[in-house]
A and B are shown apart, each in its own frame.
Chain A
Amino acid sequence: MVSYDEDNILLNAMYIKKYFPVKGSNKPGSEKKYVKAVDDVNFAVYKGETLGLVGESGCGKSTLIRTITRLIEPTEGALFYKNEDILNISSSSLRKLRKDMQVVFQDPFASLHPKMKIYQILEEPLIINKIGTKEERKKMVEDMIEKVGLKKEHLNRYPFEFSGGQRQRIVIARALITKPSFVILDEPVSALDVSIRSQVLNLLEELQQSMNLTYLFISHDLSVVEHICSRIMVMYLGHIVEMGTREQIFEHPMHPYTKALLSAIPRVNQKDRQERIILNGEIPSPVDPPTGCVFKTRCPYRTSKCDTVPENYDVDGHFVKCHLCEEGV
């Protein structure tokens, strides 16, 4: 069982912001504009858990993980990994950190070098992190490829010779070969057919057990997260609007956005049906997000209060950024 004690925190992200300057907006006379891809995001990841991050396409999920892995620098905020301030460490300790914190990227087609054989692809993280001799590395690569359910013969092939599901297994193998403790999975199954999704999800769960991994699992689809995550964060337009355990999110969703996402999941069981909320309108541009509550333009419960920024209400460890929760609805 995962303990949610303060001293079991693996990664702590505080007030993370990432603003991208909009090109051409710095001409004299015009106001400088930013894409507010991630805005004031707070969360902790506990050792051994699977934390889900859900949100529509473009809400800033990938940007958030690129920020917390320091592939891009946050505009503002603090980041602690194993109690170490990782925003202020030397580039050599940052590289060491990367061995322990691996990313499985969104697109299994684009994230493998097209001209490298699978063997080279899997050996690369070991070489980069100076792990083992040539023979030891060979053994590790061969072990790993079998662990993800592929065969040694596959090592001599190029990425284009594999299907999407197989490629995703290779990407997973590459992320796990350095024996990390924290793995960030950016929509690991979105590019895959529904039929292979559950295979890959099962594989991820098995590996989590056997290798003692902590996952941050990103998806735009709540139904995928339901099976694998113990806690879930819901992201909208760069903000975390709701965060809680799986039960809290699925059984007592509080934010209208979460309710809308949930009601979009087809349910077999009539009793499980939530009140149906259909979102009207488009997701606003992150360049000009609504003032006050970011969700107000699409919210069916909008009131005059929504023009002010909602607090992050804490209802028994269930966090919601919505004025409706003020009275404890």
Chain B
Amino acid sequence: MEIKKILGNKSILIGGGIFVLIVVCAVFAPLITKYAPTEIDVNRMLQTPSAAHWFGTDAYGRDIFSRVVYGARVSLIISISVAAFSGVIGCVIGMFAGYYKRAESIIMCIMDGLMALPSLLLAMAIVAVLGNGMFNMILALTISNIPRIVRTVRATVISVKNLDYVEAARSMGASDARIMWRYIFPECISPLIVRLTMTMAFTILEEASLTFLGLGLSPETPCWGIILSEAKKYIRTSPYFLLIPGAVVVAVVYGINTLGDGLRDLLDPKLNK
């Protein structure tokens, strides 16, 4: 029954398909590319797309297809880590904020403060302070994504915590810890999954934006922001340097967002109404 429902949902099929494709490409990157992403070859600079170089080559003669595929690795590692870390931390904070009235005002005050800053700006500031590197990048994006997750979880907790069956558990003598874990947390899972899918899509864009601006990762790293940033010099002469990798980013983000929408339809019918 569940499988039928999943297969009957177009958003999940399309979004999930794109997502699986990109994961497969990232995992098997060495198998599907013929050139190393950092392999410089002065004899084949700035070539247009061809059978040998599907997406063409860049100013250093590097194969753009390889770079895009390896870039997917970087993007996925970052976005999955960010989703995981901000999911766990945001969920814990959100549960406390929703469950304990006293914790709520302080926590929400901090979260609203963080949300008032554009998250890209916040991430830029954190990276600027901490310096470049994959870990700092993940840390910066995690911090800037936590407030939205806290909000989602808190809203669910508040809607669940006064339900009769939760109050019944309390009246049986259940401890706060048990109530949170057995009665409230399970209700948070669906909205959390939906939110984290959106977080991933958002993180991919943010990571691309940061690296496009030259922040976060060293310029040799094959990642989407850097590819796009290098391509922008040639926008007039060879626009496909920019357009093809750009289209890949758009497709991936679109796919993951669509997947999130589909999951929401499937897991959280209430949210739509």
Where the two chains meet, the residues of A that have a C-beta atom closer than 8 Å to any C-beta of B are 66, 69, 71, 94-99, 102-103, 105-107, 110-115, 124-125, 128-129, 171, 174, 178
Contact = CB atoms under 8 A, between A and B. Distances in A.
B171 A124 contact: no
When A and B form their complex, which 4 residue pairs have the shortest distance between CB atoms, in order from nearest? A98-B173, A110-B164, A95-B173, A111-B164
A99 B183 contact: no
Nearest to A92: B175
A129 B178 CA distance: 12
Question: Chain B at the A interface: mostly helix, strand, loop or mixed?
Answer: helix
Contacts, number: 56
Given A113-B183, A115-B186, A128 B164 contact: no
B165 A112 contact: yes
A72 to B, nearest CB: 10
Contacts of A103: 168, 171
B112 interface: no
Nearest to B178: A128
18 contacts: A71-B167, A71-B171, A94-B173, A95-B173, A95-B175, A98-B172, A98-B173, A103-B168, A105-B168, A106-B164, A110-B164, A110-B165, A113-B165, A115-B186, A125-B173, A128-B169, A128-B175, A129-B172
Contacts of B183: 113
Interface in B167-199: 167-175, 178, 183, 186
A110 B173 CA distance: 18
Interface of B: 163-165, 167-175, 178, 183, 186
B168 A178 contact: no
A149 to B, nearest CB: 21
Nearest to B179: A128
B171 A102 contact: yes
A103 B170 CA distance: 10
Contacts of A129: 172-173
B165 A128 contact: no
A146 B251 CA distance: 59
Contact of B171 (A98, A106, A110, A115): A98
